[in-house]
Structure 1
Amino acid sequence: MDFRQDNRSITEIAYKRLQGTASDEEIEIYERWYASFKDEELELGEGDVDATSQLGAGLYSKLMLKVSKEQPKKTSYIIHLKWFAAAAVLVLGMAYWLYQSNALNKLLNNQSARQVQIVPGKAKATLKLANGRSILLQENEDGLVIDSKSLKYTDGTGIVIPENQLLNRQEMILSTPKGGTYQVVLPDGSKVWLNALSSIKLPADFASAFERHVELSGEAYFEVAKSKIRYQGSQKRRPFLVSVGNRTVEVLGTHFNIKSYAEEKGVKTTLLEGSVRVGTGNKYKVISPGQQALVTNDNISTSTVDVEEAVAWKNGNFQFADEDIQHVMLDIARWYNVEVVYQGAVTKERFGGTISRNKPITEVLASLEETGAVHFKIEGRSVIVMR
């Protein structure tokens, strides 16, 4: 069979392969077609990158996944043009074939009948006041602004609260659920971005106390504003402290990310700008931009990291570097509000790459499946992970 001249047959087989209905003979045809591409046909040259490979790369949103067995520190990021070209042919060919055969409508109807629609997370949060009242914040707003006397959204729209409840006299907790994220401007002008399933607590005296002290659960990115207050007869810069359980981050600079989910190992503080002092018990370490401090129990270790990976979530991406599937699925589960179930042995292979968090979960999982290292099945709001 001349595979290059019979893309429609290949796309039909590819579709059946995805549905699990392809015969052994058809799978063999598909694999021979894939093997028929030569890497040298797709070598990169200035100005002559194959259009098909470019399209394949765009369709998969820069996700470059390389599986590495038994070498967790050597995970590679390779722009595999052969794979991208094949992916593009499949995507375009399948779209044409599905349209021609009306299979797309049938597929969507069947899926909607038996499956819950799983969409990406969005701006979603709740503000809890000291009297127990909870305010469900509007999803069509970019964020919340808290000052000493009022609450409002970032576009200036006010939030009504009882007149006898002055904000500078009560504790507040801003929290996001699974599938939620939110930005908040604190009374001192500091900005905080909360990731999914996270919360930040402000004490009643945040605006007036010498020390600005907040408590964090989950993950947040901070841009801390400079603030001075008259203290012991002179103007002094107010410290900014973030507590995560019995661990404390003292801000000496401005931009940093803290990840502190209970189901993950330790507390990670990644510094982008300025400096911070990380402490647990009686131990403290100061880190510089480009460094990450990991606090586990009473130990503090530091390392140089790619800060873009730490804040990828804030910029709308998943980004993994040499991560196991369990860590990858933790981030996916929080963002898409799904439960993850492992069926059989869990793959030991590692993953790395970047993909938009705005894509449907099916696209994210399909991209991971392309490595051949893992497979998925969706049942309701559960994602079943298989080898």
Structure 2
Amino acid sequence: MEHTTEYIIYLLSKSKLEKLSDEEQLQLDSWRLNAASNQDICDMLDNKELLARDLKGLSAYDWETSFETFEQEHLGTPKTISPYRRIWLYGIAAMLIGAFTLFFTHYLTDSSYQDSPDVKILPARTAGTIYLKNGDSITISPKDTMLSFTSLPAREAKGNDSLLISTPKGGKMAVLLPDGTKVWMNAETQLDYYEMDSLRQVRLIGEAYFEVAKRYSPSGEQPKLKPFIVQTGNIHVTVLGTHFNVKANRNLSDFRTTLYEGKVRVQQGERQIILSPGEEAYMNTGRIQRRGIDTEIGNALKEGYFIFNSERLSVIMEDISAWYNVNVVYLDHEIKSEKFEGMLSRNSRLKDIINVLESTGKVNFKFKENTIYVDKKRSN
């Protein structure tokens, strides 16, 4: 198969404009899987922030000549298409070719890494947005501690039985929900909360620690039991009043519910697990399983720690990426499965976190702007 740089640029460009043919997709997949560095390039091309910086160099790029060459060598007989749309597609494709060319040149030839992360990279601070049912939104600033809906102006607090709360990369938030439940949200987390007559429900992507209000008394009514359910994908965590942590990425490859007080039921289809304090439900080969945990360590998210208990490096770096708002690129993909243990403050400088991981002698890190490059430790 043809794996020249020019042809790969063409395939990458076309993949952003229209669907590749089966043969083209096979060629691109073959090239991507041929080397870890090729996969890294694809990962970085999907990073809009990195690509945007390279697009700034397009003003000096001869895109017309580039596209003429691109068309002659690779497009062959053009499809029947309106002149105006053809011009538009050519312009976009030419811009992407220029961007990809700059990208290849920059990332395949530039080896000027830094030994330490930029000192401007800081731990997560309070930041996020709350979208209210009435259409208003509230932007959270670093000076806020725990936002309580009981302290909001009457116009904003009224009728909030439905809320959407999100934190960005590099952000965190603590919020007191309308029912009195306290929630500590990790970076890059989305929480969709709503109430019905029979229950309170949260849809969660990311990680949050919950202290659920057992008895809910709206508007001074007689307190009543109202189940609280956290849904993430096809998994439901049901409680009446308890302290627990839920972590789940979008595809549930990293899912866990950790119980500190009370009881919860974790359900996945017909399968369900009842957890007691000191137990955790987690995902194993697509099914939820149970295991014990050390509750004396305390809750990592609420109490401000990273706790790695035989944790895969890929999971650790996902947490670091979200907390410090950095990008992560692997120069060696085998290192992803290496496991680490440790307990570190979430207020630590990124350099301190990196130093602890490197002290194991398993992994090496390099830095460039806002990106961490992860490699296996090489023997001298």
TM range (shorter): 0.5 to 0.7
Equivalent position of 1:11 in the other structure: none
Report the alpha carbon displacement of residue 308 of structure 1 after superposing the two structures with TM: 5.6
Equivalent position of 2:366 in the other structure: 377
Partner SS state of residue 159, structure 2: helix
Q: Which amino acid aligns with 1:121?
A: A
Q: 1:266 to 1:355 in 2, by over 3 A?
A: closer
Q: What per-residue deviation string (whole Å, max 9, x for no partner) do you get for residues 55-109 of structure 1? A: xxxxxxxxxxxxxxxxxxxxxxxxxxxxxxxxxxxxxxxxxxxxxxxxxxxxxxx
**Contact 2:166-2:191 within 8 A present in 1 as well:** yes
Q: Within 5 Å, which residues of 2 pair with 1:65-214?
A: 115=118, 117-130=120-133, 132-147=135-150, 151=152, 163=155, 167-168=158-159, 171-203=162-194, 206=195, 209-214=197-202
Partner SS state of residue 221, structure 1: strand
Q: Within 5 Å, which residues of 2 pair with 1:1-387?
A: 115=118, 117-130=120-133, 132-147=135-150, 151=152, 163=155, 167-168=158-159, 171-203=162-194, 206=195, 209-228=197-216, 236-262=224-250, 265-295=253-283, 299-307=287-295, 311-347=299-335, 348-387=337-376
Partner SS state of residue 168, structure 1: coil
**Contact 2:252-2:283 within 8 A present in 1 as well:** no
Q: What per-residue deviation string (whole Å, max 9, x for no partner) do you get for residues 227-264 of structure 1? A: 1569xxx9742111111122211104411110112266
Q: Which amino acid aligns with 1:312?
A: A
TM-score, normalising length: structure 1: 0.61
Q: Which amino acid aligns with 2:373?
A: I
Q: What per-residue deviation string (whole Å, max 9, x for no partner) do you get for residues 119-152 of structure 1? A: 11111111112355432112111121124xx62x
* d(CA) in 2 for partners of 1:169, 1:321: 39
Q: Which amino acid aligns with 1:168?
A: G
**Contact 2:132-2:160 within 8 A present in 1 as well:** no
Report the alpha carbon displacement of residue 225 of structure 1 after superposing the two structures with TM: 1.3
- Runs of 4+ with deviation above 6 angstroms: none
* d(CA) in 2 for partners of 1:172, 1:236: 21
Report the alpha carbon displacement of residue 344 of structure 1 after superposing the two structures with TM: 3.0
Q: What per-residue deviation string (whole Å, max 9, x for no partner) do you get for residues 194-222 of structure 1? A: 1111121122xx3x723122221111111
TM-score, normalising length: structure 2: 0.62
**Contact 1:199-1:217 within 8 A present in 2 as well:** yes
Q: Which amino acid aligns with 2:140?
A: L
* d(CA) in 1 for partners of 2:172, 2:287: 30
Q: Give identity over the alignment, percent.
A: 40
Partner SS state of residue 346, structure 1: helix
**Contact 1:258-1:270 within 8 A present in 2 as well:** yes
Partner SS state of residue 279, structure 1: strand
Q: 1:354 to 1:235 in 2, by over 3 A?
A: closer
Q: 1:336 to 1:308 in 2, by over 3 A?
A: farther
**Contact 1:281-1:298 within 8 A present in 2 as well:** no
Report the alpha carbon displacement of residue 298 of structure 1 after superposing the two structures with TM: 6.8
Task: Flag the structure with more relative contact order, 1 or 2, with Cα contacts below 8 A and sequence separation at least 6.
Answer: 1
Q: 1:321 to 1:238 in 2, by over 3 A?
A: same
Report the alpha carbon displacement of residue 345 of structure 1 after superposing the two structures with TM: 4.8
Report the alpha carbon displacement of residue 265 of structure 1 after superposing the two structures with TM: 2.0
Partner SS state of residue 168, structure 2: coil
**Contact 1:210-1:229 within 8 A present in 2 as well:** no
Q: Which amino acid aligns with 1:198?
A: T
Q: 1:327 to 1:169 in 2, by over 3 A?
A: closer
Q: What per-residue deviation string (whole Å, max 9, x for no partner) do you get for residues 351-370 of structure 1? A: 11111111211121122112
* d(CA) in 2 for partners of 1:137, 1:386: 37
Q: 1:224 to 1:283 in 2, by over 3 A?
A: same
* d(CA) in 1 for partners of 2:157, 2:356: 50
* d(CA) in 2 for partners of 1:235, 1:187: 14
Alignment coverage as a number of residue pairs:
258
| Structure 2, gaps ≥5 residues long | 1-113
Q: What per-residue deviation string (whole Å, max 9, x for no partner) do you get for residues 289-311 of structure 1? A: 00111256873311111246682
Q: 1:327 to 1:275 in 2, by over 3 A?
A: same
Report the alpha carbon displacement of residue 267 of structure 1 after superposing the two structures with TM: 2.5
Equivalent position of 1:62 in the other structure: none
Partner SS state of residue 334, structure 1: helix
Equivalent position of 2:98 in the other structure: none
